[in-house]
Structure 1
Amino acid sequence: MARAISTKSLLEKKYKNFEFDGIWLLVLGVIAKGGFWLIYGNEKNGKTFFTLKLAEYLTKFESVLYVSAEEGTGKEFQANAERAKLDPKIKKLKFIEYIDLENLKAKLNKRQSPKIVIVDNITVYVNELKNGQLYTLKDEFPNTTFIFLAHEDNKEPYTSTAKLCKKLAKIIIRVVGLTAFVSGRCPGGTIVVDEKTAMLYHGSQIINN
């Protein structure tokens, strides 16, 4: 059961923050580590490409584990990594195929465990995250930042678990036409993943914005 705290205790709480820079600081601001992020969108719109670039950037701050639960780490995923021009010298970014939730938790309980976990895709874990398990995951690992990817249905995250994740998420990113639209508990804004493709999809106004 959660313990009530005084106003003084609330105001004196300290947090470890991500000290972003550049476009990331502009749209994300200064965010406390831990909690949930959600990235969602239709297929072939640049979700994985954008997330791989984000994953690489986040290694500036913490070690990152990318769980490619839906696609695996085969040829197609390798091609995505090549398109994203990931730097092979970065050792703080690791990839793994589907791992069940209990084994993932065991991995996160080890010393030197990653503090950022990207789960691609939340649909694969829909049964394992039912019945309050999403809340449990957040409570068990308060200092770990979980970034979930989700499919889209009618402009909203697909599955009830993904919709709950959106409600809990501090950062919400919808990827459309190789453009990331950022909202949530942050300044918000857009990040153009690929300028030429984004202009074809959205028109030149997206670049001007």
Structure 2
Amino acid sequence: MQINRALSVDQIYNKKFIELKLDGEWSAALGEPEASGIWLIWGNSGNGKSRFSMMLAKCLAQYGKVAYNSLEEGARKSLQKNMIECRMHEVKKKFTILNREPIEELRKRLSKKAAPRFVFIDSLQYTDLTKKQYIALKEEFPNVLFIFISHAEGKEPKGALAGFIRYDADIKIRVEGYKAFPLSRLGGGEPYTIWPDEAKKYWADIK
């Protein structure tokens, strides 16, 4: 797809964007983001990252079709459990699990009519994408919102590509202790509690 690199001031001022009109806790956390672009979620295992990602997928299904590419986990019992606990059957007409679909197959899927509007990729470390391939993917599908889920190393996303995407992403979300800590260019910024009881115990223990 040919992208016009030179834009006038008037073109930028008059450009219309499709926004997600979130409400409640989601609005407080994420503001009013565009319905396209790049988001990054990262955190260590056992802190609520998978649960938060599924909850976010359910939220986004109110606004369009969601595809959740389970590259790392696949269609396993742990994924089933997460989906049941998040009551994903309530959005089953707008939500699809992709069972370890390679990125090239995902590209073909996104090129079809009525393709998903929101795509979760879990996890980034299982994509084998290079920086160049990542840039090509997001430029090929400018109307898609890609949400990459990444392993962590300490409090940082793991690996060079994850670090690059962190700076490139419109919304960056670190998950720790059953809370999600968002950083958005478009408002929001309030922590999102994933599991209130577990979060309370975790944060009480480390004070």
Question: How far apart, CA to CA, are the structure 2 residues paired with 1:163 and 1:3?
Answer: 25
Match of 1:167 in 2: 167
- Cα gap change, 1:203 to 1:81, in 2 (>3 Å): same
Secondary structure, in 3 states, of the residue corresponding to 2:191?
Answer: strand
Match of 1:132 in 2: 132
Report the TM-score when normalising by structure 2.
0.93
Offset at 1:88? Answer: 4.6
Match of 2:148 in 1: 148
Offset at 1:33? Answer: 1.5
Secondary structure, in 3 states, of the residue corresponding to 2:41?
Answer: strand
Q: 1:84 aligns with which of 86, 93, 96?
A: 86
- RMSD of the TM alignment (CA)? 1.6
- CA displacement 1:83-142 (0-9 Å, x = unmatched): 2232355310110111111111000000010010000100001x2x21411111111000
Match of 1:187 in 2: 188
Match of 1:203 in 2: 204
- Cα gap change, 1:45 to 1:24, in 2 (>3 Å): same
Letter in 2 for 1:47: K
Offset at 1:2? Answer: 4.7
- CA displacement 1:139-162 (0-9 Å, x = unmatched): 100000000000100210011111
Question: How far apart, CA to CA, are the structure 1 residues paired with 2:145 and 2:72?
Answer: 20
- Cα gap change, 1:102 to 1:84, in 2 (>3 Å): same
Letter in 2 for 1:58: L
Question: How many aligned residue pairs are there?
Answer: 203
Question: How far apart, CA to CA, are the structure 1 residues paired with 2:55 and 2:94?
Answer: 14
Question: How far apart, CA to CA, are the structure 2 residues paired with 1:78 and 1:147?
Answer: 20
Q: 1:119 aligns with which of 118, 121, 137?
A: 121
Question: How far apart, CA to CA, are the structure 2 residues paired with 1:66 and 1:48?
Answer: 11
Secondary structure, in 3 states, of the residue corresponding to 2:172?
Answer: strand
Q: 1:15 aligns with which of 14, 17, 31?
A: 17
Alignment of 1:18-97 (within 5 A): 18-88=20-90, 90-97=92-99
Report the TM-score when normalising by structure 1.
0.92
Confirm or deny: 8 A CA contact 2:70 2:99 kept in the other structure. Answer: yes
Determine what percentage of the aligned residue pairs are the same residue: 34
Letter in 1 for 2:171: I
- Cα gap change, 1:136 to 1:82, in 2 (>3 Å): same
